Chains A and B, each alone.
Chain A
Amino acid sequence: SQKIEQNSEALNIQEGKTATLTCNYTNYSPAYLQWYRQDPGRGPVFLLLIRENEKEKRKERLKVTFDTTLKQSLFHITASQPADSATYLCALVGGSYIPTFGRGTSLIVHP
Chain B
Amino acid sequence: ETGVTQTPRHLVMGMTNKKSLKCEQHLGHNAMYWYKQSAKKPLELMFVYNFKEQTENNSVPSRFSPECPNSSHLFLHLHTLQPEDSALYLCASRSTSGRDTGELFFGEGSRLTVL
Contact = CB atoms under 8 A, between A and B. Distances in A.
Interface residues of B, number: 27
Given A44-B43, A97-B101, A98-B102, 16 more contacts: A4-B42, A31-B102, A32-B101, A43-B90, A43-B92, A43-B107, A43-B109, A44-B90, A44-B104, A44-B106, A45-B106, A89-B43, A93-B102, A98-B45, A100-B42, A103-B42
B102 A97 contact: yes
Given A41-B109, A42-B108, A43-B90, A93 B41 contact: no
Interface size class of A (residues with CB under 8 A): 20 to 34
A49 B109 contact: no
A8 B41 CA distance: 10
Interface in B1-24: 4, 6
B101 A93 contact: yes
Contacts of A99: 102, 104
Nearest to B33: A98
A94 to B, nearest CB: 9
Contacts of B43: 44, 89, 101
B101 A42 contact: no
A97 B108 contact: no
Interchain residue pairs A-B with the least CB separation, the first 5: A43-B106, A93-B102, A97-B102, A101-B43, A103-B42
A80 interface: no
* Max chain A C-beta neighbours (<10 A), residue from B41, B88, B92, B104: B104
* Max chain B C-beta neighbours (<10 A), residue from A4, A31, A44, A49: A44
Contacts of A8: 40
A103 B108 contact: no
Given A41-B109, A42-B108, A42-B109, A101 B103 contact: no
17 contacts: A34-B102, A34-B103, A41-B88, A42-B108, A42-B109, A43-B4, A43-B6, A43-B108, A44-B43, A44-B106, A49-B103, A97-B100, A100-B42, A101-B35, A101-B43, A103-B40, A104-B42
B75 interface: no
